[in-house]
Homo-oligomer: A and B are copies of this chain.
Amino acid sequence: MLSKKSQYAFKALAYLTEKYQQGPVLISEISTKKRVPLKFLENILLELKKADILESKKGKGGGYYLKKDPSQVKVAAIVRIVNGPIAMLPCVSLNFYKRCDNCDETACGLHDIMIKVRDATLNVLETKTLIDLLPMK
């Protein structure tokens, strides 16, 4: 399951996608409009900035805004940043691979199943972008 943090991140990103190319948006505005605890949101946005998703400006007229066009930012990337691995097992993760203990990957049925799950999941998450966060008109 996605953490609360991740859900907050997506709410914030949806808001920033709406406001794309309309200048910086205050953390406090996102917080009140999307009902996300202010200080918690601060941390999340900062993390997204460090991951190169957002850009920020300090001082009057400052705030956060999307660094790239929302249609270019994949949902999969966001999940990896705020929620961690997408795969259900470390040994089938593309971005967070870790060998599993006492388990020969070449002879592990679960391994194969989880690769299929990963591919099916990525097939969705890698094709959806921030644009898809907005409700259809």
Contacts and interface: CB of A to CB of B under 8 A. Distances in A.
Interface of A: 1-2, 7, 10-11, 14, 34-35, 75, 84-85, 87-90, 100-103, 106-110, 112-114, 116-117, 120-121, 123-125, 128, 132-136
Shortest 3 CB-CB distances between A and B: which pairs? A120-B120, A107-B135, A109-B133
Copies of this protein in the assembly total: 2
Nearest to A75: B113
Main secondary structure of the interface of A (DSSP, over half): helix
Contacts of A136: 109
Contacts of A116: 124, 128
Contact of A35 (B14, B89, B102, B124): B102
